[in-house]
Each structure stands twice: as structure tokens, then as C-alpha cells.
Amino acid sequence: MKPLLGISLKVLSALVFTMMSATLKTLMSRYPVGEVVFFRSAFALLPLLLWLRWQGDLINAVRTRNVVGHFKRGFIGTSGMYLGFAALSYLPLHDAIAIGYASPLIVVILAALLLNEQIRAYRWTAVAVGFVGVLIMLSPYLRLETFSGGLTAGPTLGALCALAGAFCSAGAMIQVRRLTATEKTGAIVFYFFLLASALSLCTAALGWNMPDAKDWALFVVGGILGGIGQILLTQSYRYADTSVIAPFEYTTMIWALLFGWFMFGDLPTVTVLTGAAIVAATGLFIVWREHRLGLLRTKELQASPQRPGV
């Protein structure tokens, strides 16, 4: 275990993913969401395959015994990607990312409902407080006057897409947990990008725009950044425990604020910052609580008497 290396890789992955979002946000006004999802997923396969090949076991890395499980993860994850990019087209970068922080809170609920995990009062309280923070972030977009123009356009639709995308991301995380029981990390990531590319390609019949040379470059860069970010994220968990790595997900807000300011001239409101701080604080509490429970379980196992021959 090398915690400092793991943390560094996690922070770097957060930076790369934010760079990807900022790059693709520049294209959202000119291209359909399905087209953006396709190029993001297809070009992400390039660094992923090179990385797996460099590890020297490409065929075994993508071998699978659970095609149905991969399809479920791919469908849910692609839906979340669609909603996330739709949110980026309507919202400032930092607002879209901040609302996405609801995803870890939703994971706690889904883990209790779908995986039968035992969730104690501390975590339920943290989830409830976290959703108060989500409502605070959403409040500027869900006032009565924002509905006067309908939900077909505008920041209100973007905020709802961001929240729906957080639910899809949480569902994808639950499915990934199931897949890790039998599948390798390389296979999980590879089949997700492959299915996302195939599913989004179906939207070409609805009308795509042919990119010019500059936009082709942006699509390539955005996709490659997504693939590199995934590799960095995967590697970070090899060098440090999840409880150590997870809190650094919130560094994405720092990068989003900087890119949003320099690239798009967007500054966050006090309301969004307040809600994001509440959600981040509850997320950190959940991670800390999980770490403490893990330590207690380890002590209990060490203290329990062992039967002869065990």
C-alpha cells in the first residue's frame, strides 16, 4: 500500500475528468448529446486498450462470464452519461458537478434496498442531511417562476437532468459492485465503453452533425481524457483503501470552479456553494463512519477465539 501515491492518482483523475467535462461542454451547443456520448466513449477505448496491452494480458483482461451484468451496467451508465452531458449543456460546469455529488448518498439507499446492506442510524442521518444540501443546490432552479417557460429548455431542465444522472450513476455503482465478484476491472471498464459507444451510435438516425477539424480534435481530446481519467482512478484504488481515496472525489469542485471561471466566465452562487459544502461534508462523514466500522469489525475478528485447526 502506498497511500500518498493512491491519493495523488485520485486527485489527478479528478482533474482529468473535469478537463474532459470542460472540453466536451464547449461542444454541447453544436452537437446532439448522443453524438457527444459516442465520441467520448469510443475514443476513451484507445488509452484503455493501450493500457491493458501494456499490462501484457489484454485477452484475459477483457474475458467475461457475465454478459448480462455488463449490459445492465452499460445501459444504466450510458443513461447517466446522457443525462450528465445534457445537464452540462444547460448549467455552469460547477453547478452540474455539484449536483452530481448526490450520487454517493443515493448509493447508500440503493445498497440497502438492492444489496441488503445494513445501514445504521448514523448513515441514514447523514443521507438525510445530504439531501437537504441537494435541495439547497436545486432551489435556484426549481422556483415557481423558473417553470413559466416550461421544462423544454433552460437551467431547470439541466438541474433535473443532473439529479437524474446522479441516480443513474448510483445505480451503475451498485451494478459494478455486483460485477466485481466475478469480473476483472479491465473487463468492467472495457465493456462499459464498448456498450456506451454502441448504444449512443443508435442515435445517429436522429441526426448528427459532421464535426469540422477543430471539433474533431476536441472530441478526440475529450474521449482520450475520459479514458486516461478512468485508468488513473482504477490505479488509485490499487495503492490505498477506498476510505482513504474516496474523500478526494470532492476536489472536482476546485477544478470545476477554476475551469468554469477561466473557460466560461461562470462564478458559483453562495446557494450552490452552501449546498455543495453540506453534501460534501455528509459524504466525508459516511466515508469516515465506514472506516471506523471496518476497524471495529477487524478488531472483533482478531479478538474472537479461533477453533483448533482453523
DSSP code string of 265-286:
-----HHHHHHHHHHHHHHHHH
What is the band of 150 on the pLDDT scale with cuts at 50, 70, 90? low
Give 139's pLDDT tier (boundaries 50, 70, 90): confident
Nearest to 70 by CA among 227, 185, 236, 229: 185
Q: How confident is the model at residue 208 (pLDDT cuts 50, 70, 90)?
A: very high
Q: Are 71 and 63 in contact, with CB atoms under 8 Å apart?
A: no
- The residue with greater pLDDT, 184 or 83, is 83
Q: Does residue 220 sit within a domain?
A: yes
Region 172-187: mean pLDDT is 85
* CA–CA dist 36, 29 (Å, integer): 11
* pLDDT (mean) for 215-219: 96
Looking at the predicted structure, is the pLDDT value of residue 293 above 90?
no
Q: Is residue 310 part of a domain?
A: no
- The whole-number pLDDT of residue 118 equals 78
Between 104 and 45, whose confidence is greater? 45
**Residue 85: which pLDDT band, with cuts at 50, 70 and 90?**
very high
Residue 309 lies in a domain: no
Q: What is the pLDDT of residue 310?
A: 42
Residue 214: which domain range?
3-303
**What pLDDT was estimated at residue 144?**
52
On whether residue 135 sits in a domain, the answer given is yes
The whole-number pLDDT of residue 297 equals: 67
Per the domain annotation, does 308 fall within a domain? no
Angle between helices 3-25 and 67-90 (to 10 degrees): 60
Domain count, the chain: 1
Residue 78 forms part of a structural domain = yes
Residue 48 · residue 230 · CB < 8 Å: yes
Tens digit of pLDDT for each residue in 228-262? 998 898 888 778 776 677 778 888 888 998 998 98
